[in-house]
Amino acid sequence: MSEIATAEAGTRDAGETLTLRRPDDWHVHLRDGAMLRFVADMTARQFARAIVMPNLVPPVTTVAAAEAYRERILAALPEGRAFTPLMTAYLTDEIDPAEVARGFEAGVFTACKLYPANATTNSAFGVTDVRRIHPVLERMQAICMPLLIHGEVTSPEVDVFDREAVFIERILAPLLVDFPELKVVLEHITTSEAVQFVEAAGPKLGATVTAHHLRIDRNALFAGGLRPHAYCLPVAKRRQHKEALRKAATSGNPKFFLGTDTAPHARHDKESACGCAGIFSAPTALESYAQTFMEMDALERLEGFASEFGPRFYGLPLNRGTVTLRREAVKVPELMQWGELSLVPFQAGETLSWRFDESATTLA
């Protein structure tokens, strides 16, 4: 249903508009407490559904914890906001396969998230060896429950820029052989190796691509000084990898779909001697993807990537209704402040060429 149109014939300075089926975000960090209340609606105003990461402290490992978190998310949204948080279970070495299956069958868990132990923010309880979770993977495969993977090895001897490619070779490839029917999403891919691996694999493997990995390469981390707001995990790679991601995301291949990995951290936690990993892209997520698709001359493929390929992969219905972007210059705020909390959004201070028109959203 995507439509690139010139609005209102006869209106002299009316710009182009881009109307898409309502999209979903297949990877978000909404946090908890005050941060949740500040950020939740930034995702909910643009996206109909989002896969919510479970890396809270303590992590979301039980059905009860996921239900309670889902309630807190819904309570954080403005009255009447049509948004469905899709909850995930955080896999640990000790996770109970029966609890995971019960949550999936009850419609509480949509998927499980695999963080290799200590790979990233709040992953200390993650999996130390994939063999330890074979029982839960067996169960997930049997009930068609998707596995979402943070695909980086954590061994200190592996260079940080190689951790995704090494993970694919050492962990992911054998895992797909052991579990050929398991639905797997390789999250936030950053390398040409990941693109090629996903393209070559069977239909049970998909990948999310963030807005930021489509726009920054590793030079952004060092542009005129150390840039903590460009730091995330997996870290951005060389330009050639970014180019491979841009091609894959805009290719129309349904294995690649939208997942922002929006990951807010308070400004003081980013601008620190040991800054947190995470890029806060929710405030202008769709605008940022639209910019990339426009630069790649592929705006007509944005709807598939943002609104169709994800639900098809997960086996969920497509959303009804539409969102609209208008071809207008939009300046991303330098800083977003809420009480004591300050957040620096992705592309702070930059001017983007599409504006999300919230008032034009339709629900049916």
Could you list the active site residues?
A: 261
Decide if residue 27 touches ligand DOR (CB under 6 A).
Answer: no
Residue whose CB is less far from ligand DOR, 233 or 245: 233
Q: Name 257's bridge partners.
A: 208
Decide if residue 164 touches Zn ion (CB under 5 A).
Answer: no
Decide if residue 193 touches Zn ion (CB under 5 A).
Answer: no
Environment class of 318 (CB within 10 Å of its CB; exposed 0-12, middle 13-18, buried 19+): middle
Q: Which does 232 bind (CB under 5 to 8 A by kind): ligand DOR, Zn ion, none?
A: ligand DOR
Q: Which residues of 149-179 are buried (b: 16+ CB within 10 A; e: fewer)?
A: bbbbbbeeeeeebebbbbbbeebbeebbeeb
Q: From the CB of 12, what's the least distance to ligand DOR, in Å? A: 45
Residue whose CB is less far from Zn ion, 164 or 261: 261
Q: From the CB of 8, what's the least distance to Zn ion, in Å? A: 40
**Nearest residue to Zn ion, scored by beta-carbon proximity:** 261
Q: How many residues bind ligand DOR (CB under 6 A)?
A: 10
Decide if residue 261 touches Zn ion (CB under 5 A).
Answer: yes
| Helices (H), ranges, the chain | 33-44, 63-76, 97-105, 134-143, 163-167, 173-178, 192-200, 239-249, 267-270, 285-295, 302-303, 309-314
Residue whose CB is less far from ligand DOR, 278 or 311: 278
Q: From the CB of 115, what's the least distance to ligand DOR, in Å? A: 7
Contacts of residue 112, defined as CB under 8 A and 6 or more positions apart, other chains included, come to 88, 89, 90, 91, 100, 136, 140, 145, 146, 147, 148
Decide if residue 152 touches Zn ion (CB under 5 A).
Answer: no
With CB under 6 A as the contact rule, the residue among 19, 43, 46, 55 that binds ligand DOR is 55
Q: From the CB of 76, what's the least distance to ligand DOR, in Å? A: 17
Stretch 92-121 residues interacting with ligand DOR (CB under 6 A): 120-121
Q: Name 86's bridge partners.
A: 51
Torsion of CA 60, 65, 71, 76, to 10 degrees: -40
State the DSSP code for 362: B
Interacting residue ranges for ligand DOR, rule: CB under 6 A: 29, 55, 120-121, 150, 232-233, 263, 277-278
Interacting residue ranges for Zn ion, rule: CB under 5 A: 261
